[in-house]
Chains A and B, each alone.
Chain A
Amino acid sequence: MSEEFKIEIVNPEKSFLVKEDVSEVVVPAFEGEMGILKDHISIISFLKPGIIKVSSKSGDENYYVEDGIVEFKNNNLSILTSSIYNLSDMDKSVQQDLLKKAEEEAGKSDINDQAKYLVDQKIEVLKTLN
Chain B
Amino acid sequence: MASLDDLKKRIASVKSTQKITKAMKMVAAAKLRKAQESAEKGRPYSEKMNNVILNLSSGISDKENAPKLLAGTGQEKVHLCVVMTSDRGLCGGFNSNIIKKAKSYFSKILDENKEIKIITVGSKGNDQLKRTYGDKIIENISFKESKNANYFDADKVGKIIIEKFEAGEFDVCTIFYNKFKNVITQIPQAQQIIPLNDEGNENSSDESYEFEPDEDEILSNLLPKNISTQIFKAMLENSASEQGSRMSAMDNATRNAGEMVDKLTIEYNRSRQAAITKELIEIISGAESL
B232 touches A80 (CB 8 A): no
Asked whether any CB of chain A lies closer than 8 Å to the CB of B229, the reply is yes
- Among A8, A10, A30, A41, which residue has the most Cβ atoms of chain B within 10 A? A10
Q: Least Cβ distance of B238 to chain A in Å?
A: 15
Contacts A44-B52, A46-B221; A10 near B209 (Cβ below 8 A) = no
From DSSP, what is the main secondary structure of chain B's interface residues?
helix
From DSSP, what is the main secondary structure of chain A's interface residues?
strand
Asked whether any CB of chain B lies closer than 8 Å to the CB of A123, the reply is no
Taken together as a complex, chains A and B put the C-alpha atoms of A18 and B42 apart, in Å, by: 15
Q: Which of B11-19, B43-51, B94-102 faces chain A? A: B43-51
Total residues of chain B contacting the partner, CB 8 A: 30
Specify the chain B residue showing the minimal Cβ separation from A32.
Answer: B212
| Of the residues B42, B225, B229, contact of A14 by C-beta under 8 Å | B42
Taken together as a complex, chains A and B put the C-alpha atoms of A43 and B56 apart, in Å, by: 11
B212 touches A31 (CB 8 A): yes
Q: Least Cβ distance of A121 to chain B in Å?
A: 15
Task: Type the 1/0 row for B225-264, where 1 means its CB is closer than 8 Å to any CB of A.
Answer: 1000100100000000000000000000000000000000
| Of the residues A10, A13, A34, contact of B48 by C-beta under 8 Å | A10
Asked whether any CB of chain B lies closer than 8 Å to the CB of A86, the reply is no
Cβ contacts under 8 Å, B55 to chain A: 44, 71
Asked whether any CB of chain A lies closer than 8 Å to the CB of B213, the reply is yes
Asked whether any CB of chain A lies closer than 8 Å to the CB of B64, the reply is no
Q: Least Cβ distance of B233 to chain A in Å?
A: 9
B42 touches A13 (CB 8 A): yes
A45 touches B38 (CB 8 A): no
Total residues of chain A contacting the partner, CB 8 A: 23
Q: Least Cβ distance of B220 to chain A in Å?
A: 11
| Of the residues A13, A15, A44, contact of B218 by C-beta under 8 Å | A44
| Of the residues B45, B209, B212, contact of A12 by C-beta under 8 Å | B45
Q: Least Cβ distance of A100 to chain B in Å?
A: 18
Contacts A44-B218, A46-B218, A71-B52; A13 near B211 (Cβ below 8 A) = no
With A44-B209, A82-B225 given, can you name 9 additional A-B contacts, CB distance below 8 Å?
A: A10-B44, A42-B208, A44-B212, A44-B218, A45-B212, A46-B213, A73-B205, A73-B207, A78-B48
Interface residues of chain B, those whose CB is within 8 Å of chain A, are 38, 41-42, 44-46, 48-49, 51-52, 55-56, 150-151, 154-155, 205, 207-213, 218, 221-222, 225, 229, 232
Complex A-B: 12 CB contacts under 8 Å: A10-B48, A12-B45, A12-B229, A14-B42, A30-B213, A43-B212, A46-B213, A46-B221, A71-B52, A73-B205, A78-B48, A80-B45
